[in-house]
Chains A and B, each alone.
Chain A
Amino acid sequence: MTTTSTTPSSSVPGLVHGVYAEGEPIRDTKAPPGPIDRRWNTRKFEASLVNPANRRKLSVIIVGTGLAGGAAAATLGEAGYQVKSFCYQDSPRRAHSIAAQGGINAAKNYKEDGDSVYRLFYDTVKGGDYRSRESNVYRLAEVSTNIIDQCVAQGVPFAREYGGLLDNRSFGGVQVSRTFYARGQTGQQLLIGAYQALERQVAAGTVEMFSRHEMLEVVVVDGKARGIIARDLVTGEIETHLADAVVLASGGYGNVFYLSTNAMGSNVTATWRAHRKGAHFANPCYTQIHPTCIPVAGEHQSKLTLMSESLRNDGRIWVPKNAADCEKDPREIPEEDRDYYLERIYPSFGNLVPRDIASRQAKNVCDEGRGVGPKVGDFRRGVYLDFTDALKRMSAEAVAEKYGNLLDMYQRITGENPYEVPMRIYPAVHYTMGGLWVDYDLQSSIPGLFVTGEANFSDHGANRLGASALMQGLADGYFVLPHTIRDYLARGPFEKLEESHEAVVEARASVDARVQKFLSIKGDRSVDSFHKELGNIMWEFCGMERSEEGLLKAIDLIRGLRDEFWRNVKVLGAADTLNQSLEKAGRVADFLELGELMCIDALHRRESCGGHFRAESQTEDGEALRHDDEYAYVAAWEWGGQDGAPVLHKEDLVYEFVEMKQRSYK
C-alpha cells in the first residue's frame, strides 16, 4: 500500500490520506468452490426451494424497470411471488437500457469461429483488466446463451440472415462474432421484450406497477431490508412499501458527471440511500468513458449522445498532424498531414482497440492541441471519425444499411452530413462498472437487499467490454436473481411488519424532513448549476486521467460545493405536486456525496487500470500500468456516517483459471 502524507485541507488525522479508514477484509463471497463450470449449477441446486403455494405469500420490491429490473420483475411474477415494481419514468418501457445501441454478447458460437462459454468468460475477465470475479463472470458467460433463446421466444426482432437464422457481428475489438443485434436499437428491442413480459404479469396480477415513483429510502428492520419509502412524483405523497426482500436495479451513476450518455433522470439515489443504510459501495471510481460520442457543442448542453462503437469497424479515426490545420475543412487536409493515431500506435488492433484506450488517446491528442471542432472553453474537444474510405470501398447504400440510423442521428444533432464531411467524436461517460457490492448471490451487505444490473459492481471489473451490459442486465434479471433470491425467500415468510414500526416511521420521517429541507433553503442557485459544477470537477479530476494532486483538490472542491448546496440551493414549487426541481435536488444532493467517495476510491487506487489512467502509474512509453500485487482486490466502501470517513473493506481477487497479464494491444 502506497501511502503519502499528502492530504486534503479538510483532512482528519489518523485516516489514510486524511480521508478514509481501513476495515476488515471481506473473506467470503459465497461462490461455491470446485470446477468453475460447475459452480453455478451447484449454487442453483443448493439454493432452497419455495413451494409454489407459498410464493403468493412472499413479496418482493424491485426498484427500476430496465433490463435487470424489468426482467426480474417479470420472472418473479411468473414464478408466483407478489412483486411491486417501481420506476421514476411514466412507463417501465422508458428505462435507459433502451438507449443501448450495439448489441448483446452470447457464447452461442453460431459462426463456428472458435467461440465458447470459456472464451467469453476469458475475454470478459481480460477486458475487465483482471478486476472482476472469475466465478461471476463465468456464470455470466454461461447463461448468455439462455438469454438469446428467451428473447427470441418473446419476439425480440434480432437481425437475421436470408436463411432465417440469427446474424452475429464482431463488436468492440473482439475477434469472434458473438454479438446479436437489432440494427442500432438492440437495447430498445430487448427492453421492450422485458417490458412486455412485465406488463403481462401486471395483467396477471402478480406484479403491481408504480410508475412515476421514486425510491428515496430503504427500510431496514433488524438488519434486514424490508421495504422502501417512495415519493409519488405526481401527487408528491410519501409512501411506505413493505416487503420480504428488496431488489435495486436502478442503473448506474454516470450522471454524477452532469454530462454523460445517461438519461436526464438517471441517478444514484436508490443505491446511495442503501449505501448510507449499510450496503457497501464497491469500486465507485470505475467508470467507463465511451470513445464514440458526439462532442459537446456549447455551455447549454444537457446530455451527450453516444453513437455505437460499431462505427469504428469501418470508420477511421484521425486528427491533423499539425495543430495549425485544426480549423481547416477536414476534406482539404491531405492524407500525409493526417495522423491516424490509433492505427499508428496500435498497428494490430488499429481503430478497434478497447474503449478505454481509444478514449484516452483521443483525450491525449486533444490535450496536445490537435483536437477539432468548436472550442468549448479553451479546447477543441473532438477527433475525426472518417467514413470516406468505407464509402469508397462499400457504396453509400451498404454504409447506410449498416449504419444508417447512426449517421442520421449524427446529422440531426450536428447539422453536418457524415456522408460528405468526416464526423467528429469525443469520449463521454457512458457506464459505471462500480456499484453496490454484492456477493455471488447478488445480495448486498444488507441481508434481503439484492442489487442487479449496472447498479451492482459485479461482473465487469475495471472496464466493460462492448455488448456486455445488456448481457449482464438480462442475465441478472432473468436467470441469476430469481434463483438466488429464492434461497433468501425460502427462509420466509418473515415477521409481519407494521407501518407503525419504529424503523419504518423513522425512515419515512427522514424522507419528509429532507423534502421540506430542500424547499426551505430558498437560496440563490438552481439545482442544475450545482450539478454542472460538480460535473466539471468530476470530469476534470476523476475522469479519464487522475492524479493524486487533482483528486485531493477535487475532494476539497466537492466538500465546499456540497456545503454551499445545503445553504444556497433554490427549489421552487411545492412538495405535494409534480415538482421536477425537487426531484433533481434530491438526486444532486446524493451525487454530491457519491462524488467525494469516487474521488477517495480513485485516490486510494494508485494504479492505472481498465477505464481509468492514473498519472503516477504508467510505463515508459505512457501506457497504463497495473499493480496486481497491490490492487488486485475489490474496494468495498462502508458508509462512515454523515461526519465520519468511509471505511475500506478489501475483497481479494483470486485468479485460478485466467492468468493475469498486462494488457497489450500493440
Chain B
Amino acid sequence: MNLTLKIWRQAGPKAKGEMVTYPVTDISEDMSFLEMLDVLNEQLNARGEEPIAFDSDCREGICGMCGLMISGKAHGPEVTTTCQLHMRSFSDGDEITIEPWRADAFPVIKDLVVDRGSFDRIIQAGGFISANTGSAPEAHSVPVPKPKADRAFMAAACIGCGACVAACPNASGMLFMGAKITHLGELPQGQPERDARVVNMVSQHDHEGFGGCTNIGECSSACPKEIPLDVINQLNKDLRGALMRGE
C-alpha cells in the first residue's frame, strides 16, 4: 500500500518543530507501524536526510518505550502499543499524521522522542514498598486473597508508556498514578505506606505540571493495557482517606 505521512520534525529540545510530509510506497500489511518507519528511515538515510528519531525498544508491547500520536490517537487506532500496531489497520492511500506525546511534563527531545522522566519521579515519590533486600519474611507468611491479588496484577500491568497523558485533554497522569496506587494498595504488604504513598505521589504529579483529572475517560480508552478508570477512583478514595487521617 502507499501512504502519505505527516510527521513532526524537531531538531532539538529548544528548536521549533514543524510537520513534514513524506510519501511512502510498497508498504506491506504485515509490517508493524515502526517497521514502516524503519523503511522510511532507510530511504531518508539513502537520500542523505537525517532519519526520524523515535523511541522503541522491546517491540513486543511490554517495555513501554514506544509511543506515537497517530492521526490524533495515542498508539493509533487499535488498543495496543505503537510497536504492536500493524499496517493492516490502515488502508491504501491513507494520510497519517504522526506526532510525539504532547504534554509539558513530557518535553520533546527530538522529533518524536519525549522525556518521560516525570513518571520516574512520581514513582520515586512513593511508588514502592520499602522492603530492603534480605529483610523479607517467608513468602507464604502473608496470604493474599485471590481477588485482591488479581486486581493488584491488573493494575500492575501498566507499562508506563504515557499514552494516558497523551490522550487526556487535560494531560493528566492520573491513570498511570492510579494504577500504581491500586497495585500496591490492594496488597497487604502495601498497607503501611498507603496513606503517605498517595499523598506524596499526587503532590509530585501536580508539581511535574500534569493536568488534573476531570473524569473524561480518554486515558483508559487509549491505554494499551486496558487499565480501567477504577484505578483513578481508587486513587481518589485513598487520597480522601489519607487527607482525612491527616497525612
Q: Do chains A and B touch in the complex (CB under 8 A)?
A: yes
Which residues of B from 20 to 64 have beta carbons under 8 Å from A?
28-32, 34-35, 38-39, 42, 45-46, 48-51, 53, 55-64
| Number of A-B residue pairs with CB-CB distance less than 8 Å in the complex they form | 220
Complex interface: chain B residues within 8 A of A192 (CB)? 156
Q: Report the minimum CB–CB distance from B148 to chain A (whole Å).
A: 9
Q: Check: B119 CB closer than 8 A to any chain A CB.
A: yes
Q: Check: A559 CB closer than 8 A to any chain B CB.
A: no
Which residues of B from 127 to 155 have beta carbons under 8 Å from A?
127-140, 142-146, 149, 152-153
* CB <8 Å contact, A415 and B88: yes
Task: Report Cα–Cα, A305/B59, bound state, in Å.
Answer: 8
- Given that A149-B138, A157-B149, A202-B124 are known contacts, is A75 also in contact with B39, CB under 8 Å in the complex? no
Tell me which of A154, A157, A479, A482 contacts B131 (CB under 8 A). A154
Binds A, one of B108-116, B215-223, B229-237: B108-116
* CB <8 Å contact, A90 and B187: no
- Given that A165-B143, A195-B123, A303-B59 are known contacts, is A415 also in contact with B86, CB under 8 Å in the complex? yes
Q: Check: B196 CB closer than 8 A to any chain A CB.
A: no
* CB <8 Å contact, B128 and A148: no
* CB <8 Å contact, B128 and A302: no
* CB <8 Å contact, B84 and A93: no
With an 8 Å Cβ cutoff, the count of chain B residues facing the other chain is: 78
| Nearest chain A residue, comparing its CB with the CB of B125 | A203
* CB <8 Å contact, A409 and B34: no
Complex interface: chain A residues within 8 A of B77 (CB)? none
- Given that A211-B117, A413-B86, A573-B50 are known contacts, is A110 also in contact with B190, CB under 8 Å in the complex? no
Task: Report Cα–Cα, A577/B110, bound state, in Å.
Answer: 9
Complex interface: chain A residues within 8 A of B139 (CB)? 108, 148-149, 151-152, 166
Tell me which of B58, B88, B120 contacts A91 (CB under 8 A). B120
With an 8 Å Cβ cutoff, the count of chain A residues facing the other chain is: 82
Q: Report the minimum CB–CB distance from B55 to chain A (whole Å).
A: 7
Complex interface: chain B residues within 8 A of A171 (CB)? none
Binds B, one of A182-190, A283-291, A311-319, A442-450: A182-190
* CB <8 Å contact, B115 and A90: yes
Complex interface: chain A residues within 8 A of B189 (CB)? 152-155
* CB <8 Å contact, A89 and B30: no
Complex interface: chain A residues within 8 A of B97 (CB)? none
* CB <8 Å contact, B134 and A302: no
Complex interface: chain A residues within 8 A of B56 (CB)? 264
Q: Report the minimum CB–CB distance from B144 to chain A (whole Å).
A: 5
Complex interface: chain A residues within 8 A of B31 (CB)? 298, 300
Q: Check: B160 CB closer than 8 A to any chain A CB.
A: yes
B185-205 CB contact bits vs A (8 Å, 1 = yes)?
001011000000000000000
Task: Report Cα–Cα, A204/B212, bound state, in Å.
Answer: 28
Q: Check: A170 CB closer than 8 A to any chain B CB.
A: no
Complex interface: chain A residues within 8 A of B142 (CB)? 152
Q: What are 17 A-B pairs at a CB distance below 8 A? A: A90-B55, A93-B120, A96-B57, A152-B142, A153-B129, A157-B152, A163-B143, A203-B124, A263-B63, A300-B35, A305-B59, A409-B60, A409-B61, A412-B80, A529-B42, A572-B45, A580-B51
